[in-house]
Structure 1
Amino acid sequence: MLLDLVAERGWVEITGVSAEVGVSAATVRRDLDYLAEQRLVTRVRRGALARADGHDVPPHFRARRHMDRKRRIGCAAARLVAPGGTIVLNGGTTVTEVAKALTALPDPGRGGAITVVTNAIDVAGVLAARPWITLVVAGGTARTQSYELVTSVSEAVVRDLRVDVAILGVDAIDPDSGPASHHEAAASVNRLLADRAGKVVVVADSSKLSARAASVIGPVTMVDTLVTDTDADPATVRRFHDRGVDIRQA
């Protein structure tokens, strides 16, 4: 429960949580120390912060952050998929919302079925039961941070792909440096996914705009459309527009 609160709010204060959940401050302090040792939170004076980099936080906890934003973004991105098209989805909590939104669309009927290629096992699980979605899963070694399958196996599958649209979740996207990931293996696969697509759509909530991550996926010019939320800073949105990126805010 304590990790849930940190993931949802971004930070918690010991005395406030103690009163809220009805346990002693000493118990909260001890639990936060344990979570910090597990690298699930960052311990600070009087409380704890959610880890800014998202490293090693299980996806089901990260999904709680900005949940409403991610759902809106997922629905907006799903509407960009044309009937009968072939798309590729990577992993991450926002892309999982895209997958959920795709399954909620009405059955397009004969000739409107879509093909989805993904390297994320949780995304595949969301899509697998829909008869109008042909699902292709690229293999590899699973990353615990995003459930993505990476390494040479998935890269070999991706190299033979040709898809209409790649819908990619990222750890950060900057108008100058472009989309990026905290992990080089994920960045390498995402780079290949983008290269095999006729159009690249990045889905990212506003907390990731102008953020930085270590492994750059490619220049911002590789991104055709950025789907974000209405809380995005207007000046940052203009900078993306100035670089030729189509911005959709949900």
Structure 2
Amino acid sequence: MSRDARWKALLELLVERGRLDVEEAAAELEVSAATIRRDLDGLAEQQMLVRTRGGAVVHGVSYELPLRYKTARHASEKQRIARAVADLIAPGEAVGLTGGTTTTEVARALAARGDLATGAPALTVVTNALNIANELAVRPQFKIVVTGGVARAQSYELVGPLADGVLGRITLDVAVLGVGAFDVAHGAAAHDEAEAAVNRMLCERAERVVVAADSSKLGRRAFAGICATAAVGTLVTDTTADPGTVRRFEEAGLRVIVA
């Protein structure tokens, strides 16, 4: 197992359990305790966890994995969700994409659509995510608009008042939200208030709003609110979503697509 793979695995275990023991982690990943100690020391240097005697604990009360370590989580589900979201977007539309692993997959699914391979432009994509802009900017069929702002290392998203200046002057056909949590009663939310503020503006500038969220995000709450459930027209999730949760979203008036 490579170091990057071990780091991803360790961070995911830490998020799930809140605390890691060196010996237990070594047995689970089938590597030596010395290797785990070096890995935890390296992650602590990047301020992604707090080292303790014999292990590690999460860094702070509200822990959020940086984007580069989230990519393997629910990967197949996110790809199916992304393809279903991409199918909702018509050629010629202006699309807002927030940052996140699921919306990154949406960008890739749009790039793979044959009917969007031509046109001038086939789509206008507005995003505050540097990684999404980077992937799509090389595709001439897409007009890419980047919001501006200050880059947030955890998500590659641009946030702050500089983004407001761009978003206040545009209109969108659809905004696709990647969220930290989506609950019927409390709406869509993110872990960071600056990200939530930009995402909220994207919603306000769009004719319709789509939430792309795997089942692990549903029925949960996060710190910073993005929008009320009533502001969302469509939820796209995966087949492991709880049927009762899906039904509650449908009863709230949302179209739910299970991919």
Which TM-score band (shorter chain)? 0.7 to 0.9
Q: Using the alignment, how far apart are the partners of 2:12 and 2:88 within structure 1? A: 29
Distance 1:21 1:146, change over 3 A: closer
**8 Å contact from structure 1 (residues 155, 189) kept in 2:** yes
Match of 1:130 among 128, 135, 139: 139
**8 Å contact from structure 1 (residues 205, 229) kept in 2:** yes
Higher alpha-carbon deviation: 216-225 or 19-28: 19-28
Match of 1:204 among 189, 210, 213: 213
The equivalences for 1:182-197 within 5 A come to 182-197=191-206
Distance 1:3 1:155, change over 3 A: same
2:105 is equivalent to residue 97 of structure 1: yes
TM-aligned CA deviation for residue 24 of structure 1: 2.8
Distance 1:7 1:69, change over 3 A: farther
Read off the aligned partner of 1:85 and give its amino acid letter: E
Read off the aligned partner of 1:5 and give its amino acid letter: A
TM-score (norm: length of structure 1): 0.88
Corresponding residue for residue 66 of structure 1: 74
Q: Using the alignment, how far apart are the partners of 2:203 and 2:28 within structure 1? A: 46
2:83 is equivalent to residue 75 of structure 1: yes
Corresponding residue for residue 236 of structure 1: 245
How many residue pairs get aligned? The number is 249
Q: Using the alignment, how far apart are the partners of 1:80 and 1:149 within structure 2? A: 26
| Paired-residue identity, % | 48
Distance 1:31 1:114, change over 3 A: closer
Q: Using the alignment, how far apart are the partners of 2:213 and 2:52 within structure 1? A: 27
Q: Secondary structure of 1:82's match?
A: coil
Read off the aligned partner of 2:162 and give its amino acid letter: V
Distance 1:85 1:22, change over 3 A: closer
Q: Using the alignment, how far apart are the partners of 1:38 and 1:247 within structure 2? A: 39
Higher alpha-carbon deviation: 174-183 or 6-15: 6-15
Residue ranges of structure 1 left out of the alignment (5+ in a row): none
Q: Using the alignment, how far apart are the partners of 1:20 and 1:175 within structure 2? A: 36
Read off the aligned partner of 1:65 and give its amino acid letter: R
Q: Using the alignment, how far apart are the partners of 1:44 and 1:176 within structure 2? A: 38
Q: Using the alignment, how far apart are the partners of 1:237 and 1:48 within structure 2? A: 36
TM-aligned CA deviation for residue 138 of structure 1: 1.0
Read off the aligned partner of 1:103 and give its amino acid letter: A
Q: Using the alignment, how far apart are the partners of 1:48 and 1:247 within structure 2? A: 39
Match of 1:225 among 188, 212, 234: 234
Q: Using the alignment, how far apart are the partners of 1:44 and 1:223 within structure 2? A: 43
1:115-168 residue CA offsets vs partner (Å, 9 max, x unmatched): 111111101011111121111111110111111111111111001111100011
TM-aligned CA deviation for residue 25 of structure 1: 2.2
Q: CA RMSD in A?
A: 2.7
Residue ranges of structure 2 left out of the alignment (5+ in a row): none
**8 Å contact from structure 1 (residues 8, 66) kept in 2:** no
Corresponding residue for residue 121 of structure 1: 130
